[in-house]
């Protein structure tokens, strides 16, 4: 029912080739013809058929964003930044949230490798099956990875510097005099940021000449957005004679869970326990005391990732930095202080 290019051509008294040129290379067309075509387009309310165009040009002007969840403040911001960049470049976003479900992740990858639904893929914080990531990375689909690392120079990886994040938080606590510092981390073996955090935690201890107690490293296998599991782990850690004097939490949401446990058990922050988070979500400023945390430039990461992908799309053979670390910054607020006694 909608008008086709042929209708426009007929009305304007030109060929479809000319109409197409008006749309894509107006400089090749005489002003007069251009005018008539545009007038016809207006009259008929014509729109290109993107399916036809895609078929012919092998381009979709769409990029897929694969992520574990959108219910995460950091990912939220990244996606919004990605969209901002995409939209100005004329691209549209396909949303693929895997929810940590391997089957779903697999299905999405299967869909995407068709290459007829998106021109490129932005893969954020993969958690499920590392093999699917590798499959994708070895395919022909332009790919940019965020917070994951594959050893393939054709695949740029953008990593939030979580080594530094844990390092800064731990060093801050050590500097305050703490010696028993717990690390609440994610155990998912292929979740890169978790490995990085452990690294930073250990490095800070090493530099300070302190030997960390392995009993104070708690790892949970579940991502934080399914955070019922955290409660028990936190209680086990805090309700024992030998409890730590400080906690480096995986992120702000986990840190807030620590707040809740403390309130229940009559522990005061920061007098009895210092706590640090990560991400600097909105409520970390609103809680009492305000949370000492690490601010991560999520928008920056999203923008860079999308720009990199665009570069790969327009110049597929130009080399790309295989690995980028994005610096983060500790924000000291009220939840950390010197140890009791």
Partner DNA sequence: CGCTTTACTGTAATCGATTACAATACCGTT
Partner DNA sequence: AACGGTATTGTAATCGATTACAGTAAAGCG
Confirm or reject binding of residue 314 to its own copies (CB under 8 A). no
Cβ at position 39, least distance to DNA in Å = 14
DSSP 65: E
Q: Which of residues 124-183 bind its own copies (CB under 8 A)?
A: 140
Confirm or reject binding of residue 50 to its own copies (CB under 8 A). yes
Confirm or reject binding of residue 102 to its own copies (CB under 8 A). no
Site string for its own copies, 2-21 (x = CB under 8 A): x-------------------
Contact (Cβ atoms closer than 8 angstroms) between residue 197 and residue 250: yes
Which residue in 18, 20, 69, 132 binds its own copies (CB under 8 A)? 69
CA dist 76 and 58 (Å) reads 30
Of its own copies, DNA, none, which one does residue 313 interact with (CB within 5 to 8 Å by kind)?
none
CA dist 108 and 281 (Å) reads 29
CA dist 118 and 141 (Å) reads 9
Residue 131's CB is within 10 A of a number of other CB atoms, namely 12
Exposure on the CB side of residue 137, measured as CA atoms within 13 A: 21
Cβ at position 107, least distance to its own copies in Å = 7
**Please, which residues have CB within 8 angstroms of residue 315's CB and are 6 or more apart in sequence?**
none
Of DNA, its own copies, none, which one does residue 6 interact with (CB within 5 to 8 Å by kind)?
DNA
- Using DSSP's 3-state secondary structure scheme, residue 169 falls into helix
Cβ at position 277, least distance to its own copies in Å = 12
Confirm or reject binding of residue 55 to its own copies (CB under 8 A). yes
Confirm or reject binding of residue 209 to its own copies (CB under 8 A). no
Instruction: Report angle CA 194, 200, 202 to the nearest 5 degrees.
Output: 105
Q: Which stretch binds its own copies (CB under 8 A): 99-107, 185-193, 228-236, 316-324?
A: 99-107
CA dist 250 and 72 (Å) reads 13
Specify which residues 224 forms β-bridges with: none
Contact (Cβ atoms closer than 8 angstroms) between residue 68 and residue 124: yes
CA dist 323 and 156 (Å) reads 6
Cβ at position 252, least distance to its own copies in Å = 9
In the block, tokens 């008929």 appear at: 44
CA dist 228 and 111 (Å) reads 32
- Judged by the rule CB under 7 A, the positions of this chain that interact with DNA are 2, 4-6, 13-18, 20-21, 23-24, 28-33, 46-49, 52-53, 55-57
Q: Which of residues 183-202 bind its own copies (CB under 8 A)?
A: none
Which residue in 6, 28, 39, 47 binds its own copies (CB under 8 A)? 47
Confirm or reject binding of residue 83 to its own copies (CB under 8 A). yes
Q: Which residues bind its own copies (CB under 8 A)?
A: 1-2, 47-52, 54-55, 60, 62, 65, 69-71, 73, 76-77, 79-80, 83, 87, 92-97, 99, 104, 107, 111, 113-117, 140, 227, 253, 256-257, 259-260, 263, 282-283, 285-288
């Amino acid at each position: 029912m909608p008008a086709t290019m042929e209708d426009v051509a007929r009305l304007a008294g030109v060929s479809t080739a000319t109409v197409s040129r008006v749309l894509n290379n107006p400089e090749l067309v005489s002003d007069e013809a251009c005018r008539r075509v545009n007038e016809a387009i207006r009259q008929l309310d014509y729109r290109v058929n993107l399916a036809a165009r895609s078929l012919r040009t092998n381009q979709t002007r769409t990029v897929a964003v694969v992520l574990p969840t959108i219910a995460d403040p950091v990912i939220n911001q990244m996606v919004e930044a990605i969209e901002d960049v995409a939209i100005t470049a004329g691209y549209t976003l396909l949303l693929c949230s895997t929810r940590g479900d391997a089957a779903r992740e697999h299905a999405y990858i299967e869909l995407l490798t068709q290459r007829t639904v998106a021109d490129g893929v932005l893969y954020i914080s993969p958690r499920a099956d590392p093999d699917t990531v590798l499959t994708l990375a070895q395919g022909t689909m332009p790919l940019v990875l965020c917070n994951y690392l594959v050893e393939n120079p054709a695949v740029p990886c953008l990593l939030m510097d979580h080594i530094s994040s844990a390092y800064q938080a731990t060093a801050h606590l050590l500097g305050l005099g703490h010696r028993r510092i717990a690390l609440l981390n994610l155990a998912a073996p292929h979740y890169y940021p978790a490995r990085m955090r452990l690294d930073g935690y250990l490095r800070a201890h090493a530099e300070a000449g302190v030997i960390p107690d392995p009993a104070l490293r708690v790892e949970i296998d579940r991502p934080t957005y399914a955070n019922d599991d955290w409660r028990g782990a936190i209680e086990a850690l805090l309700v024992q004679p030998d409890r730590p004097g400080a906690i480096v939490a995986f992120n702000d949401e986990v840190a807030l869970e620590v707040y809740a446990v403390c309130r229940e058990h009559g522990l005061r922050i920061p007098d009895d326990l210092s706590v640090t988070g990560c991400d600097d979500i909105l409520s970390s400023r609103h809680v009492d005391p305000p949370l000492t945390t690490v601010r991560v430039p999520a928008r920056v990461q999203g923008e860079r990732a999308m720009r990199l992908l665009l570069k790969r799309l327009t110049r597929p053979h130009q080399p790309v930095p295989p690995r980028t670390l994005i610096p983060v910054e500790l924000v000291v607020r009220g939840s950390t202080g010197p140890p009791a006694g």
